[in-house]
């Protein structure tokens, strides 16, 4: 992550206008000549509207920035969607930073939990919930029901330590880090994810750690003249290790990092996704590393993992470079039933789409997919696969923002604040950039860091939240995506973990089969709506929905009505569950309110 490859090799940072020009020219020459196939899905007009102010969200991320350019400052913080009170509505949790030895804010810095009121507004319930986390320099957040009590818990990563908050089921949380043994003391934890790697019915925890940085070894990087000091490149620091905690079923965890093989290689971990990448029924681990080989650990079904990073083809780019990996997600983009990978990188690098070859290897499909160099001047931080227009194909949503706040001193063509990016899947994994068609709020430049998606208003299309460095977040409501049909599934495990993480869902509609997985991790330091969302285009009937649970149980539902959220319990099938929708009148009031207010950005 930190420090673009676009920065000069002056006192520890990288650059080269001439080299960048050569790279850009090379990318242009390599663009494929073949035509992109016509869309198989049915597109509908979509606009994203920023309703943060009308929704009552007042959280503001503090970058803790000083002239000393502490490496920690540029990372930003994550965000999570989760239904903490189990009322059928997605609530919001924003991770916050903290004071440092040289930065003393005028008021205490706290994380924020916002309860979804079901009318388009949110209420700040942080203090009652006990989630302020004051004094903890937070980084990311992972959501999972680690004790199978039906209420989602929070793991908040951070600099020096992490915190596990147990959901008490009454609107409050308890810090159980010490008892659980998951503090990751001395680590600089960034992303984390919950998954059941041994399929014993209890969620285990993966934590990605970054580099050995501290205020004592904070180097001067950049030119020695006013305003030119920059955040350093990670190559100046030794990496840390990935940590794997095994759930002991009694509220405690055991560190099995070395025994499992996951913690052996040096890492500079930023993003993680936990999914079955070789279709053997067991969850694997993919890690986006910063200027370091990306990791792919395949589950060997015996509590250990095989490091296939290099032989699989995901460690590096097509031309063998280790790029600034940050955000990562997995999804089936071409309809073959196998999970593909996407990893974001900084400006003057490419964001990589790795196509699953179904034989344990991946092909860098960045150019042949149509993505190519269309975002070469953007710094990709976080990303999510999302079917934003419900046409049945996974699209690519990417959050951007340069790591250097003074980047224009080094590259005038690159901006610190950058707009979001959307690549629409035209069918079978061929993409076109459609960002400009999604509205002015979608295109507003931000210093993006955390990114998560959810259908927070339960209207059938996926909405977006971003946590922006040194500013207010964005809450982008999807207006129009539900003109196509859809189905959303909440999983309730019994023999499997309560969240159903690790389940594979196959949906057949109109002769078209879609495959999704309940994954852990994803994006960058953030957590999204755990419910599984299917876009159906103009198809009005689901022939069958088959769920293969981690336990091996297979549930098959037939003739499922569309345009609804359903709850499916392992071994039982559909069960009653209420998912309130936001009234249309309130949505109109929100839009009117937004139009009458000036932006706080």
The reported pLDDT for the residue numbered 26 is 41
Would you say residue 594 has pLDDT above 90?
A: no
Q: What is the residue-wise DSSP string for 529-568? A: --SEEEEEET---EEEEEEE-TTS-EEEEEEE-SSEEEEE
Q: Which residues, 6 or more positions from 356, have their beta carbon under 8 angstroms from its beta carbon? A: 277, 336, 338, 339, 340, 341, 362
The reported pLDDT for the residue numbered 595 is 42
Mean pLDDT along residues 331-345: 97
Token pair for 185? 């003391």
Task: Tell me if 120 sits within 8 A of 54, measured CB to CB.
Answer: yes
Mean pLDDT of the chain: 91
CA angle 160/166/167 to nearest 5° reads 135
pLDDT band at 584 (very low <50, low <70, confident <90, very high): low
Tell me the pTM: 0.92
Mean pLDDT along residues 365-386: 94
Instruction: In whole angstroms, give the CA distance from residue 528 to residue 79.
Output: 8
pLDDT tens-place string over residues 74-98: 999 999 999 999 999 999 999 999 9
Task: Tell me if 309 sits within 8 A of 372, measured CB to CB.
Answer: no
Would you say residue 588 has pLDDT above 50?
A: no
The reported pLDDT for the residue numbered 72 is 94
The reported pLDDT for the residue numbered 246 is 98
CA nearest to 551, candidates 494, 499, 476: 494
Task: Tell me if 133 sits within 8 A of 156, measured CB to CB.
Answer: yes
pLDDT tens-place string over residues 168-218: 999 999 999 999 999 999 999 999 999 999 999 999 999 999 999 999 999
Block residue for tokens 């470079």: 321
The reported pLDDT for the residue numbered 19 is 35
Least confident of 78-87, 120-129, 399-408, 531-540: 399-408
CA nearest to 481, candidates 45, 40, 49: 45
Would you say residue 120 has pLDDT above 70?
A: yes
The reported pLDDT for the residue numbered 582 is 86
pLDDT band at 411 (very low <50, low <70, confident <90, very high): confident
Residue percentage of the chain with pLDDT more than 70: 90
DSSP single-letter state for residue 262: T
pLDDT tens-place string over residues 27-50: 333 333 333 333 456 789 999 999
pLDDT tens-place string over residues 267-303: 999 999 999 999 999 999 999 999 999 999 999 999 9
Would you say residue 378 has pLDDT above 90?
A: yes
The reported pLDDT for the residue numbered 41 is 64
pLDDT tens-place string over residues 433-457: 999 999 999 999 999 999 999 999 9
pLDDT band at 559 (very low <50, low <70, confident <90, very high): confident
Mean pLDDT along residues 228-248: 94
Token pair for 66? 């000083």
pLDDT tens-place string over residues 133-172: 999 999 999 999 999 999 999 999 999 999 999 999 999 9
Token pair for 532? 């599984």
Mean pLDDT along residues 417-432: 97
Task: Tell me if 466 sits within 8 A of 399, measured CB to CB.
Answer: yes
Would you say residue 482 has pLDDT above 70?
A: yes
């Amino acid at each position: 992550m930190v420090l673009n490859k676009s920065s000069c090799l002056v006192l520890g940072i990288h650059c080269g206008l001439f080299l960048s020009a050569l790279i850009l020219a090379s990318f242009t020459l390599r663009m494929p000549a073949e035509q992109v196939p016509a869309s198989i899905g049915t597109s509908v007009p979509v606009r994203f509207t920023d309703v943060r102010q009308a929704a009552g969200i007042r959280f503001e991320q503090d970058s803790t920035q000083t002239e000393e350019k502490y490496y920690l400052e540029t990372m930003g913080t994550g965000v999570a969607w989760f239904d903490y009170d189990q009322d059928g509505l997605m609530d919001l949790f924003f991770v916050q930073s903290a004071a440092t030895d040289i930065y003393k804010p005028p008021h205490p810095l706290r994380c924020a939990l916002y309860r979804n009121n079901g009318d388009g507004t949110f209420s700040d319930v942080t203090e009652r919930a006990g989630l302020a986390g004051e004094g903890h320099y937070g980084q990311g957040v992972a959501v999972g029901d680690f004790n199978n009590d039906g209420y989602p818990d929070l793991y908040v990563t951070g600099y020096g330590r992490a915190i596990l908050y147990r959901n008490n089921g009454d609107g409050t949380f308890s810090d159980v880090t010490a008892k659980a043994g998951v503090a990751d003391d001395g680590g600089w934890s960034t992303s984390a994810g919950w998954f059941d790697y041994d399929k014993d019915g209890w969620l285990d925890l993966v934590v990605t750690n970054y580099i050995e940085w501290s205020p004592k070894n904070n180097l001067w990087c950049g030119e020695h003249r006013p305003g030119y000091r920059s955040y350093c490149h990670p190559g100046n620091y030794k990496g840390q290790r990935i940590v794997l905690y095994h759930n002991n079923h009694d509220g405690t965890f055991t560190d099995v990092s070395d025994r499992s093989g996951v913690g052996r290689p040096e890492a500079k971990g930023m993003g993680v996704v936990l999914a079955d990448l070789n279709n053997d029924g067991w969850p694997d681990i993919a890690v986006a590393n910063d200027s370091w080989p990306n990791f792919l650990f395949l589950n060997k079904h015996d509590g250990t993992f095989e490091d296939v990073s290099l032989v699989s083809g995901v460690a590096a780019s097509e031309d063998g470079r280790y790029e600034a990996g940050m955000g990562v997600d997995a999804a089936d983009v071409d309809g073959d039933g196998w999970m593909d990978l996407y990893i974001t990188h900084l400006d003057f690098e490419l964001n990589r789409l790795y196509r699953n070859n179904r034989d344990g290897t991946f092909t860098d499909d960045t150019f042949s997919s149509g993505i190519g160099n269309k975002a070469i001047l953007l710094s990709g931080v976080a990303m999510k696969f999302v079917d934003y227009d419900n046409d049945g194909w996974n699209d690519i949503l990417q959050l951007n923002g340069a790591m250097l706040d003074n980047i224009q001193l080094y590259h005038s063509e690159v901006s610190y604040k950058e707009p979001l990016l959307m690549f629409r899947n035209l069918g079978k994994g061929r993409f076109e950039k459609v960002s400009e068609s999604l509205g002015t709020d979608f295109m507003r430049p931000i210093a993006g860091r955390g990114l998560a998606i959810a259908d927070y208003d339960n209207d059938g299309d996926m909405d977006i939240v971003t946590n922006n460095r040194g500013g207010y977040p964005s809450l982008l409501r999807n207006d129009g995506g539900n003109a196509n049909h859809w189905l959303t599934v909440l999983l309730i495990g019994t023999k499997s973990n309560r969240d159903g993480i690790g389940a594979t869902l196959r949906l057949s509609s109109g002769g078209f089969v879609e495959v999704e997985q309940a994954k852990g991790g994803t994006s960058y330091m953030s957590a999204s709506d755990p419910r599984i969302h299917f876009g159906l285009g103009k198809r009005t009937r689901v022939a069958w929905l088959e769920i293969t649970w981690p336990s091996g149980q297979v549930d098959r539902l037939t003739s499922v009505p569309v345009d609804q959220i359903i709850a499916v319990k392992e071994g039982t099938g559909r069960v009653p569950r209420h998912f309130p929708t936001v009234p249309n009148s309130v949505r109109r009031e929100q839009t009117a309110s937004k139009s009458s207010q000036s932006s706080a950005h």
